[in-house]
Amino acid sequence: MSEPLPIAVLVSGTGTNLQALLDTVHGREAKIVAVASSAAGVAALDRAAARDVPTRVFARGDFESRAARDETMAAWLEQRGARLVVLAGYMELLGDSFLERFPAGVINVHPSLLPAFPGLGAIEQALAYGVKVFGVTVHFVDGGVDTGPVILQRALELPDAREPTEVLAALRPLEHALLPQVVRLFADGALAPDPGNPRRMLIDPQAHVVGEG
């Protein structure tokens, strides 16, 4: 069995997606070597500490610029040996300088079926539009706002949904399933760009984690 993939997780809040990673791939296909937070005192940091995962806070206000924050954070993640960076409810934008330190190595989970409803407030956007099908996308991060290549998506019909909290609760299990699945695919080397469409990733049909997970 190959060595676990060293990954870093970026968080901003409760850390339920971090917990999903800790409960599934950590110590198996992957090893979470660092958790970086944009805010102090959040539950995600407690979740990491409970599993002896190193943590550090990179609050935007502690740096003279976003670029300085990104540079310091990227250096720490590299020092920890991270090869994949997972944005798990991370509520800050990352600049090109950070992404260049981890080329094709930053993924994000977003609560919509991209390209629909990118950016903040995706669920609120979807409700306002009146959609009846919601979903989750895991994608690579590029310099745009939720514009990177799509890796996996899953949809859910909620024809009577009215409140964002209701939709979020329904989508959480999808996030918790898809994000570890994508980490496994990355660790297996099962992802490749689609030569016919740069907005989409192809998945090796022999990958053992394709499907429900």
pTM above 0.85, yes or no: yes
Catalytic-residue membership of 139 = no
pLDDT band at 208 (very low <50, low <70, confident <90, very high): low
Active-site residue, selected from the candidate residues 26, 110, 139, 176? 110
Residue pLDDT, tens place only, 18-73: 999 999 999 999 999 999 999 999 999 999 999 999 999 999 999 999 999 999 99
End-to-end CA distance of the chain: 20
- 135-192 pLDDT per residue, tens: 999 999 999 999 999 999 999 999 999 999 999 999 999 999 999 999 999 999 999 9
Domains (range + CATH), the chain:
1-103 (3.40.50.170), 110-213 (3.40.50.170)
The phi-psi region of residue 52 (left if phi > 0; otherwise alpha if psi is between -120 and 50; otherwise beta) is: left
For the chain, give the number of residues.
Answer: 213
Across the chain, mean pLDDT equals 95
Q: Is the pLDDT of residue 213 over 80?
A: no
Q: What's the pLDDT at 212?
A: 40
